[in-house]
Amino acid sequence: GIVRHYKFNVVMRNATRLCASKPIVTVNGRFPGPTLYAREGDNVLVKVVNHVQVNVSIHWHGIRQLRTGWYDGPAYITQCPIQPGQSFIYNFTITGQRGTLLWHAHINWLRATVHGAIVILPKRGVPYPFPTPYKEVVVVLGEWWKSDTEAVINEAMKSGLAPNVSDAHTINGHPGPVTNCSRTNVFTLHVESGKTYLLRIINAALNEELFFKIAGHQLTIVEVDAVYTKPFKTDTIVVAPGQTTNALLTADQSSGKYMVAASPFMDTMVVAVDNKTAIATLHYSGTLANSPTKLVTPPPRNATAIANKFTDSLKSLNSKKYPAKVPLTINHKLYFSVGLGVIPCPTCIPANGSRVVADINNVTFVMPTTALLQAHYFNIKGVFTTDFPANPPNTFNYTGSGPANLGTTNGTKVYRLKYDDTVELVLQDTGIIAPENHPLHLHGFNFFVVGKGLGNYNPRSDPKSFNLVDPIERNTVSVPSGGWVAIRFRADNPGVWFMHCHLEVHTTWGLKMAFLVDNGKGPKESVIPPPSDLPKC
Ligand code: C2O
């Protein structure tokens, strides 16, 4: 590999959407931010310079960061944030990964406008395991608020209520012709008849899983989360925040304009109903400007069957060259309940003295003020405890109408693993307020999604149906609403690794925890020493 240098200047800029302007935090003045290109094996150096008045940190979502946890990015987990006027050089090597990922700010709700694509090409001379596309196109899906997003969440935390939903969804920064105010604010994908395109689709939205669909065209899925899949055809994709999907699009019509739709998927209504669709245009070369656009109907927002059909079709490619290395023997069997609940909050107005909180295994995670990785590496006491439970202390029926008592306690707890431990983790939706989908993201690892089901996980019968041959490998998985998902991974990366719901509002409410993978003795088993420019808290 080679060394690639990038400079990310974090700067304010004014942006106008939906007939309203506001100042937003950006990288290099762009929304979405610049695409980071590299090849597998390259060493990437990104100098991030903070020119704004708020703290910043950048996460390279899905990059394994083998032994380089200092550069992972989540504020107060692996680093202190980059303060105004300061800079930090992220320095990592891309090992054993190729495909599409994303980078995003990892502090408060800054991710709303501070995000962009990571495109990792295979090593020079190594072909894709699918026909070489004529062109590649990055498609970043996002959300747009007319008001300041930090104000939106701060207001919600004061009131105890759910925050407002966004005012629009976006495709490469554009809502499309969804209101009179955005008629001309449309992303156009130009294609030539007969050619095949690789769409690198990224969900960078804060709080919405999204369907993606193109009128009159099928898509062939070839990769998710920078892992090759067995190719399959579909007309609808579902992608959760933090997930990526590579799809081949063959422009098999002769001409015309076709609607592209990104619309919310949410199967219950814990937060307000959000039916807003972002619209782009697929435009064949040679099509007359005034020719009508062929329309597509997005799935209804509660189209769980359509979403399941898509996710259940995902399988690892598992070829000779790209084998699925599923751990077959397990040292840690973990069962984590994930969900939302309500606790008393006398100061919350007007939520009747209560507030929404979230937890994993009855622990509502409290962000520390010293980064966990520093605390671990320098043995600073009192920052975290290692008593994160392997099972939820409060057992109850996790689905249907369970007790309203969340039984959660606040804590900065981590679960400790040894280097190279093998882990099976069942994530169970509790559905205390209502069942809801939670896209859980694990930093530092890919995992295999070996099983999934509705209702309560049964440790005796459910493992019999696990797929240990070609399960999909990824870094973010949706815990099904009112159900469970089982994942397996090998703890072959020393450090402190965040795991959280990638719906930002749930993370804010506390749906997060961290794994501590112990520094061992050998060189492969320890995190590298911290860099000298590592930000201080
Ligand atoms: Cu993409 Cu911790 O996040």
Tell me the CA–centroid distance for residue 476 and ligand 1, in Å.
9
Determine the average pLDDT of the residues in 80-89.
98
- The CATH number for 332-525, chosen from 3.40.190.10, 2.60.40.420, 3.40.50.1820, 3.20.20.10, is 2.60.40.420
Sheet holding 168-171, edge to edge: 168-171, 135-144, 196-203, 244-250, 219-224, 227-234
Cβ of 111 below 6 Å from ligand 1: no
The Cα 169–Cα 144 span in angstroms is 6
Cβ of 32 below 6 Å from ligand 1: no
Is ipTM beyond 0.90? yes
Contact criterion met (CB below 8 Å) for 456 and 398:
yes
pLDDT digits (tens, 9 = 90+) for 128-165: 999 999 999 999 999 999 999 999 999 999 998 889 99
pLDDT digits (tens, 9 = 90+) for 313-340: 999 999 999 999 999 999 999 999 998 8
pLDDT digits (tens, 9 = 90+) for 388-430: 999 999 876 666 555 555 788 999 999 999 999 999 999 999 8
Q: Which atom of ligand 1 is nearest to the CA of 104?
A: 1
Contact criterion met (CB below 8 Å) for 528 and 68:
yes
Confidence at 433, pLDDT banded by 50, 70, 90: confident
Percent of the chain with pLDDT over 70: 96
pLDDT digits (tens, 9 = 90+) for 345-383: 888 877 678 888 999 999 999 999 999 999 999 999 999
Cβ of 61 below 6 Å from ligand 1: yes
Contact criterion met (CB below 8 Å) for 494 and 529:
no
The CA-atom distances, in angstroms, between 220 and each of 99, 172, 199, 236, 448 are 15, 21, 10, 10, 21
pLDDT at 261 exceeding the cut of 60:
yes
Q: What pLDDT is attached to residue 266?
A: 85
The three-state secondary structure class of 61 is strand
Q: Which residues pair with 259 in a beta bridge?
A: 281
Q: Where are the domains of the chain?
A: 1-125, 130-316, 332-525
Reported pTM: 0.97
* CATH number for the domain whose boundaries are 1-125: 2.60.40.420
Confidence at 504, pLDDT banded by 50, 70, 90: very high
Q: Which atom of ligand 1 is nearest to the CA of 73?
A: 2
Indicate if 332-525 has the same CATH topology as 1-125.
yes
Cβ of 441 below 6 Å from ligand 1: yes
Closest CA to 428 of 392, 391, 479, 499: 479
Closest CA to 221 of 243, 193, 188, 199: 199
Cβ of 176 below 6 Å from ligand 1: no
Cβ of 506 below 6 Å from ligand 1: no
Q: What pLDDT is attached to residue 213?
A: 98
pLDDT digits (tens, 9 = 90+) for 183-226: 889 999 999 999 999 999 999 999 999 999 999 999 999 999 99
Q: What pLDDT is attached to residue 156?
A: 92
Indicate the range of 9-23, 321-335, 341-355, 499-513 predicted with least confidence: 341-355
pLDDT digits (tens, 9 = 90+) for 459-499: 999 999 999 999 999 999 999 988 999 999 999 999 999 99
Residues in the chain: 537
Q: What pLDDT is attached to residue 99?
A: 98
* CATH superfamily of this structure's domain 130-316: Cupredoxins -  blue copper proteins (2.60.40.420)
Q: Which atom of ligand 1 is nearest to the CA of 242?
A: 1
